[in-house]
Structure formats: structure tokens, C-alpha cells
Amino acid sequence: MLLVSSLASLGVIGAVEYVAARNALQPAASERMVQLREAQKRAIETLFSDLSDSLVVYSRGSTALEAVQAFTAGFDQLANAPVDPAQQRALVDFYTERLIKPFERDTGKKLALDAVLPADNSQRYLQAHYTVAAGGPFEGTGSAPDDAGDGSAWSAANARFNDYFREIATRFEYRDALLLDTRGNVVYSVRKSASLGTNILTGPYRQSNLRGAYEKAMAANSVNFVWITDFQPYQPQLGQPTAWLVAPIGAPGRAAGVLALPLPIAKVNRIMTADKQWRAAGMGRTAETYLAGPDNLMRSDSRLILEDPERYARDAVAAGTPRNTVDTAIRWGGTTLVQPVATAAVRAAQRGETGTVTDTGYLGRRELAAYAPLSLPNSDLHWSILATRETAEANARVVSLTQTLVLTTTAMVFVICVAALLVPRCSCGPSAGCRPAPGRSARATTTSPSRSPRATRSVNSPPLSTT
């Protein structure tokens, strides 16, 4: 009975300790995800604030104003500039080989040459002299000359201002820098991209989100106005995700043009991926943070595609992501505007909710997710921010505690059982004495230990007679 009581007490104590520890550790795991989410949210908000402030400095300076005026004047003078047949053929080859074929390969969409080939003479002239020489969207700016040597006013302006804008683009990781005049013409591109000379209101890229941002900037009457767009595929960048920071140049209400900078996605990913130093940032083996848009697509890169692209492809397809979507992500080396993340956490954040949930993630794994909405002022950005960790890792301390309790309980049960076997034997030890068996005691009472049988008989015999 004592053994049963001891084991029962031990079981109750172990269960109580387990429940208490589990209830303490699980909220702690959720709190760590919340802290990670909030830290990343603050970092992203600070980044966009810094980018906006920098753009105000560039657009309000005298250099930007002088540049847009000079490029606009030079652009207008090219309306009747001649383009010879060889230059026209070079343009056709450039668009066919450097833009259309890569675009169709990467996106799986068809792009007609007539839809993008320069039709305006100023655009055709600039692209024949500069864009073809630049080599392509991702060839850098080194191959495009600062001055084509054609004696045009536009080339003179480029020789004067190109180094200034190129320094901004290179130092602060912008893919390009555009100047647009008051009629929507892209009168300057630091990369000399296919957008150079196009019209954002009537040209081939009029459906891009740059148009809406341009119109807002031109209509702005407030000082230090900046507008930020969401990501969208942009044809001059081979359909890759591009978001824009846009600000008017000149006095409020009297803008001489617009400065447009592509959002430096590398800086966003550097924050969201902890600069690829996840373990050093305390994120363990599986934790990650990412951004999602209202279309349930990522706005930053997946941790797994950066660590192990082959495993990402395998897991994403197994979780239901279409194979062609995964192939696009692998080809681009990122998941921005590619990977679907229609999880319960993302949907809750889109509803404006903040909290934590255990759910199946976009890679098909059970995970603990801390979610919150992320909306930035003066922008189209209505995103969600998430910090996630696989439940197996998030609950590792609970599992470790369970194993420890099981081992401890097993050891104590063993000790109690052994003790139960040894105690009865020890109860007859020398200090306590052993009681003799009943039969042996009866015999001992019939025989006096102080007298022998002979002595007994001599006492009872009559005395001998004497003669």
C-alpha cells in the first residue's frame, strides 16, 4: 500500500510540474516571436523614413532642378534629330535579344516588339546613342558613355549631371534614377534603360505604378512630398519586381519635374533576412521574418531560398506552390512578388489584427507565427509583417523538459521499487532482534536450560537403603 501511494504521489507531482513548466515556456516562445516581429517592423519603418528623407534632399536641391531643366531642353531639341538605318537595326536587335527574349524566358509572357520599340524620335535617338551602348537592364552603367560626342544639348547635360546621379544610384543601391518632365517624358535615366525617352502617361509603360506616383507628385502642394509605390513587375527591368520612391522637383505646386528612384530591395531584404546571419541574430535553425502584400505574395525573400534553393524548390512544390512559380523564384534568386503566402497569419494581419497563431506555413510545415499589419504613410504600402518559427524548434524547451521529467520520474520509480523490496529484510536486523519460530519456542519451554535429564532423574529417585 505504501508503494502504491508513493508512486501515485510521484505521478501527480510530475504532472503538475510538467503542466506548470509548459504553461510558462509556451508563452515565452510566442513572446520571442513577437519581439522579433516588432524589432523588424521598427527597422523597416526606419528604413523607409530614411529613404524618404534622402529623396527630399535630392529633389529639393538645386542640382536636381538644374538637371531636369537641362535634360528637358535637350530632349525637346531631339524631336527632329536623325537616326540612320544602322542605328535602327541596332535598336531592333537590342530589344529582341536584350529585352524581349529574357522577359519572355523569365516571365513566360509574350511581349510584342512593336509594343516596346521606340516610336518617338527623341526616344529613338537617345536609345540608339545610349541605351544600346549600355548593354541591357543589368549590365551596369560603365558601358554607356557620359557624352556620345554627338554635340547635342542632351549629351552636354548628361556629361554634366550623370556622375551626380550615378553616385546616388551606386552608393545607395538604387537600380536606376529617373528624371521626368512636366509632360510625363522620362528625360533621363542613370542606367540608360529602355524607359529612357518613353512617356509614362502615353508610352509602353503607362500601366506601371510609376504613372500613379508621378501624377501624385506633380499634383502635390505640400513641402517635402514623397510617394512610395508597392512592388509591380516592370518591363524595362525584365519584369522583375520594382517599387518607386517619387518626389517633385522644385517648389510645391510649381514642380519642374519629378525624381523617381526604384526602391532598393536589397536593403529591405538585408533587414528581413538579418543580412543572412540568422543564427547570429538569435533566429536559430528555422525562424524567419518576411513581408507580404494584400495579394498574398511575399514582399521580401524566403530564408530557405537563400540558404538552400534546392530544398526550397522541393518543399515549396510539395506544399502546393506551382512548379513554374518556384522556377521563377529560383531563376531570380528571390521570392519577392513570386511566392504565395496565403496563411492564416497573413489573412489576420490583412484584417488589421495583431497576434500569434500556430498554423501551416507556405512551405507546408507547422509553425508559430507572430503577425501584424504594416502600413507606411504617403505610400501604397499596406503590407503584413510576420516572424515565424517551426513548432518543433519553438517548442524544443518543452520537449526537453518532458524528456527530463520522464527520465527523472523513471529513476525515482526504480528507487522506490528497490526500496520497497529491501525494507522488509532490514526489519529483522540485529538492532530489532528476530522473534523465534512458534514450534521452536514450545520445545524450549519444556526443557529447562539449567538442568540435564540425568539431574532430573536423580532428584525424583528414592534414596538408596543402607545395610
**pLDDT tens for the chain, residues 1 to 467:** 655 665 566 566 556 555 555 544 457 889 999 999 999 999 999 999 999 999 999 999 999 999 999 999 999 999 999 999 999 999 999 999 999 999 998 888 999 999 999 989 999 999 999 999 887 766 554 467 889 999 999 999 999 999 999 999 999 999 999 999 999 999 999 999 999 999 999 999 999 999 999 999 999 988 899 999 999 999 999 999 999 999 999 988 889 999 999 999 999 999 999 999 999 999 999 999 999 999 999 999 999 999 999 999 999 999 999 999 999 999 999 999 999 999 999 999 999 999 999 999 999 999 999 999 999 999 999 999 999 999 988 665 555 556 565 666 666 666 666 666 776 666 555 554 445 545 444 444 444 444 444 444 444 444 444 43
Residues 153, 155, 158, 160: is their CA dihedral positive or negative?
negative
Q: How many residues belong to the chain? A: 467
Q: Please give the full DSSP string across 382-409, using - where no structure is assigned.
A: EEEEEEEEEHHHHTHHHHHHHHHHHHHH
The residue extents of the domains of the chain are 2-48+273-397, 61-264
Say how far apart CA 257 and CA 271 lie, in whole Å: 32
113 φ, ψ (degrees, to nearest 5): -60, -40
Q: Are 272 and 244 in contact (CB under 8 A)?
A: no
Are 2-48+273-397 and 61-264 equal in CATH topology?
A: yes
The distance of Cα 283 from the centroid of its chain, to the nearest Å, equals 11
Q: Which helix (H) or strand (E) holds 7?
A: helix 2-60
Q: Which helix (H) or strand (E) holds 327?
A: helix 323-332
The distance of Cα 338 from the centroid of its chain, to the nearest Å, equals 13
Any idea which fold 61-264 has?
Answer: Beta-Lactamase (3.30.450)
Question: Looking at domain 2-48+273-397, which CATH architecture does it have?
Answer: 2-Layer Sandwich (3.30)
- Angle at which helices 309-318 and 323-332 cross, to 10°: 160
**Cell numbers that stand for 422 in this block:** 529491501
